[in-house]
Amino acid sequence: MSSAEPHGPLSGIRVVELGNFIAAPTAGRLLGDFGADVIKVERPGVGDELRTWRRHGGDTSLLFRALGRNKRSLTLDLRTDEGRRIALELIAKADIVLENFRPGTLERWGMGPEVLTERNPGLILVRVSGYGQTGPYRDRPGFGGVAEAVGGLRHVVGYPDRPPVRVGISLADTVAGLYAVIGALMGLVQRQSSSVGDTVDVALYEAVYSLMESLTPDYDAFGVTRAPAGSGLPGIVPSNTYPCADGKFVVISGNGDAIFRRLMEAIGRPDLRDDPSLTDNAGRVAQQELLDEAIEQWTRSHSRATVLETLQNHDVPSGSIYEAPDILADEHFRARDMHEVHAVDIGDTEPREVTFPGIVPKLTSRPGSTRWVGPELSQHTDAILSELGYTTAERDRLRSEGIV
């Protein structure tokens, strides 16, 4: 959808996004997807650095177009007294503020939680940082990659005989953005009964640590230290990536007891299906190498299409390892409205229609929508200042002084 009219369960909610990069902007994007009026405050003339990250053409990266969708861009120099005063005017009428500066930055600007809540008692202030607003590490700089290391993720990703690796996306930042949204929504629910806002403290490393399942309990109780396990899933068998005859790969998750039996039927191994030592996960973990070899021997003998068809006929969870062209060609993505086409400037003479990811999650009665992709820098500055009561002459002065 491209309608400029907001709709969705968060219609009427105003969000001021003070953050840059990935984490807080991810939260702003999600809130905007479901109808919130998200005002993104950016530095005049420069904007969010994400505008130039992974840019392949044009003036603005498609990464920013994706994370900046449904937001209005207001340029404002928060290093100036007047810039901060305008920000405070805007925040006084907001429901949620998102920020991911280093702890203490808002306080140095005279915009700490006490100041903001004095002006707006119902405000939900969401603060995202590397290590949180308290604790001995609070002042350390922290990006998502570091958080993935400190939170325990990097150590278990990769292969035992190689250096730790990372996944190819900003996972820590995105997960922190999800927690930021959860915290913001809980604050809004609480405000319904108390009329009082709250401050939400999201740390990148904690967002990662929360994903680590029983990593520390297993160590604390049994002295078990998780190690990198390649493409498998430690302690859950069989669940791995297997090569096919045509050089393609498939992921097979046959780790449920009943699913395992169906998988063994699919690969023609009734001996393993009926082996009493393999009836539960504990027994299969003890013989993981045997099972992976049996499955791989079968997958290597067939094309990916044949492997997947056979597994689907036996109701075994499986799938291809998709690249971007596979995703774009997949009918299920299209049927679920996960492909949205929007015209954007990518540096050609005319805007080009480009496919972007759709809205998640799906709501039935009041679904979200993409009203526009990430805006041009300062695209909505005049409109927003006008809403605050600034005249054309005042806006021109602010612009000439570099404040907006």
Q: Which of 33, 77, 173, 292 is catalytic?
A: 173
Beta-carbon contacts of residue 335 (< 8 Å; ≥ 6 apart): none
- Give which of 301, 258, 150 is closest to 211, Cα–Cα: 150
Distance CA 83, CA 401 (A): 11
Strands (E), 287-385: 318-320, 339-344, 352-357
Read out DSSP for 191-232?
HHHH---EEEEEEHHHHHHTTSTTHHHHHHHH-------TTS
Of 100, 70, 251, the C-alpha closest to 170 is 100
Considering Cα of 105, then 109, then 114, then 118, what sign does the dihedral take?
negative
- Tokens 């340029």 correspond to 75
Active site residue 201: no
Alpha-helical (H) ranges within 120-266 are 144-150, 153-156, 171-194, 204-209, 215-222, 257-266
Backbone angles phi, psi at 249, to 5 degrees: -125, 150
Active site residues: 173
